[in-house]
Structure 1
Amino acid sequence: MILDDFITITPTGLYCVYGDFYLDPQQPVTEAVVSHAHGDHAIGGSQNVYCTAATESFMKHRYRKFAAVDFHIKSYHQSFKINDVSITFYSAGHILGSAQVLMEYQGIKYLYTGDYKIEPDQTCEPFEFVKADILITESTFANPDTKHPSPIVEIEKLNETNSNIMLGAYALGKSQRIIQLLNQHCPDKNVMVHHSIMPFVKIYEDYGMRLGSYKMYDRKVMKNIQEHQVYIVPPMVFHSYHKAINVVRAFASGWKNLQQQNGISLYISDHADWNAILETIEKVAPQQVWTLHGDGTQLKDYYKDRMEVKILN
């Protein structure tokens, strides 16, 4: 029997009362199952954190000694139990080490996707389709009007300008993907990286991800060479230098509002779009879909009279 209260939303985060643990809690807790290391899913300070090895590495860099009291590192496909709930991680394809969380209790399988994408990405493990009775999916871009373009077509736009480019990208995940895409599809570009991004790049390489060539940002190079330089910066730097001269601005994101007032639009997202969510639902073949992290209204309308879609947020 499907338990409607298997996962509930609390001020602390997603709570599983039957296992007495939280999924991606937003406050320190005793038992935290963490899908990936982005700050809106992974915070420091919990007692026990269950995650993949890469997620542990990123959290330890970001939160230092306050990352967790104890980490419990689990490989993909390795089942473990928290109280009476059996848990198994499967790759989510979002960033390196990102995991879907399959929870089994009283013969029912509940699959929490965390953030995910199903398109190929050479900088992280590919998404795995897993059968489940309940699919608890992010719905960040659950809109029929949203279709992410090919990341290759998008990155190749940068070949159309010889000018130096200031490229905004999230420090963890997006920046490493952009470095790899630039090396593969924009070979004439010299890639430079903001110092705050470099530790995450090194962790990626420690886990065997080959990103290609890049250098630490050099102000003299950007100033003296006015062509073919791409400087990758985190969002805070990108927005603080909104009047930067002698550069074309671009920001790698699926959000339209982040493309405004830039010289080049760069729609590269690490989330599932509408078609990807529908494909995931089809292949997971759940009895019900529960939505999170976005607006599930249009999914609910789409599956009306065919399948129950419950909006958790």
Structure 2
Amino acid sequence: MTNPILQDFITLTKTGLYCSYGNFYLDPQEAVEHAVISHAHGDHAVSGNHFVYCTKATQHFMQHRYKKFAAVEFKIKAYHEQFELNGVKISFYPAGHILGSAMVLMEYKDIRYLYTGDYKLEADVTCEPIEFVQAEVLITETTFADPTVSHPAAVEEIKKLNHIESNIMLGAYALGKSQRLISLMSQHCPDKKILVHHSIMPFVQIYEQLGISLGNYQVYDRKIMKQQLQGNVYLVPPMVFNSYIRAINVVRVFATGWKYLQQGNGHSLYISDHVDWNGIIQTIAQVKPKEVWTLHGDGKQLQAHFKDQLTVKILN
């Protein structure tokens, strides 16, 4: 007889996703004793946890951002390496989101629960490609779980920059998105000079230390932008992008999958590191779950889509 799916295997608390059976948290929002962290973005990886279980790349990014407060002790795990917390068997699989990002497979009483963290299916040479694994329960992000949302191909989007003669101020998240953009521009915008904001450079250097070659770029030099009014792309983090709202002699572009963040800019650049609707549907087909539990977004449209076919439970 097959063991039942435990409906309380993962519960959403004010501290984050908690597994009482293993006494650990997934991507906690507050410091905890045992934190299993999917990737190093700040909304998933906070400082101050005691034991942090994560990939090597995630450790490096967290140590850069939080210094000595990153964790009391890191427990670094390779992809596919199984470890155990209080009887729950855990292993990481590449999530395709950013370098070192992981989906977390948890096995307990012969039932497999797969937590995706953030993930994408699209090809990206700057991180490990997603690996699908089958599970009875898929716990998925639903950032863009809307049938009307379909992300365009990143290569076609980045080629838009070739048609902009003026200098470009390109806004992007410092970790993951920026490195992907540097690589895409190096490959597909060969006539552009890529200038990188100093706050992004440490993450770029960690990527390269971990064996990811990003292409041609240099640290931002104000003289270049002043003397050359065409052909330069100044890559900046969101805070800088938003603070220079009236920047002159540049076309403002922000790389994101969110439509509202494209408004008011000179051009749109729809490059997302999250799955769109079709990506989620494809993931469900690959994982073959009996139940889907949703997080980080609105799962109602998935519920409607799979009505009478598959149980969809909204955790958030």
TM-score, with structure 2 as normaliser: 0.99
User: In the alignment, does 2:248 pair up with 1:233?
Assistant: no
Alignment equivalent of 2:286, drawn from 283, 286, 309: 283
Kindly provide the amino acid, as one letter, of the partner of residue 112 in structure 2.
Answer: K
Instruction: Kindly indicate whether residue 13 of structure 2 is the aligned counterpart of residue 20 of structure 1.
Output: no
SS of match in other structure, 2:261: helix
Amino acid at match of 1:232: L
Query: Which of 250, 254, 258 pairs up with 1:255?
Result: 258
Letter in 1 for 2:38: S
TM alignment of 1:172-191, pairs within 5 A: 172-191=175-194
CA distance in 2: counterparts of 1:38 and 1:248, whole angstroms = 27
> Which portions of structure 1, spanning 4 or more consecutive aligned residues, are displaced by more than 6 angstroms?
none
Q: Map 1:93-104; keep pairs closer than 5 Å.
A: 93-104=96-107
Q: Deviation per CA, 1:179-211: give whole Å up to 9, x if none.
A: 000000000000000000000000000111010
Q: Distance in 2 between matches of 1:235 and 1:143?
A: 25
Corresponding residue of 1:136:
139
Match of 2:273 among 270, 274, 286: 270
Q: Give the secondary structure class of the aligned counterpart of 1:256.
A: coil
Q: Which amino acid aligns with 1:18?
A: Y
Q: Are residue 81 (structure 1) and residue 50 (structure 2) matched?
A: no
User: How far, CA to CA, are the matches of 2:267 and 2:158 in structure 1?
Assistant: 10
Residues 191-230 of structure 1: pairs in structure 2 closer than 5 A: 191-230=194-233
Does residue 53 of the first structure (1) align with residue 53 of the second (2)? Answer: no
The structural deviation recorded for 1:267 is 0.2
Alpha-carbon separation, structure 2, partners of 1:304 and 1:161 = 46
Which residue is equivalent to 2:310? 307
**Secondary structure of the equivalent of 1:282?**
helix
**How many pairs were matched up?**
313
For 2:110, the equivalent position in structure 1 comes to: 107
Q: Could you tell me how far apart the structure 1 residues matched to 2:88 and 2:97 are?
A: 25
Give the CA deviation at 1:161.
1.2
Unmatched runs of 5 consecutive residues or more in structure 1: none
- Structure 2: give runs of 5+ residues left out of the alignment: none
DSSP-derived class of the 2:42 partner: coil
Match of 1:150 in 2: 153
Residue 62 of structure 1 corresponds to 65
Q: 1:159 is matched with which residue?
A: 162
- Mapped to 2, the partners of 1:300 and 1:66 lie a distance apart of 40
For residues 154-179 of structure 1, what are the alpha-carbon distances to aligned partners after superposition, in whole Å with 9 as ceiling and x for unaligned? 00000011110000000000000000
Aligned to 2:37: 34
Shift of 1:300: 0.4
Q: Distance in 2 between matches of 1:136 and 1:243?
A: 42
Q: CA offset at residue 281 of structure 1?
A: 0.1
Shift of 1:265: 0.2
**Given the two structures, how large is their TM-score scaled by the length of structure 1?**
1.00
Superposed CA RMSD: 0.3
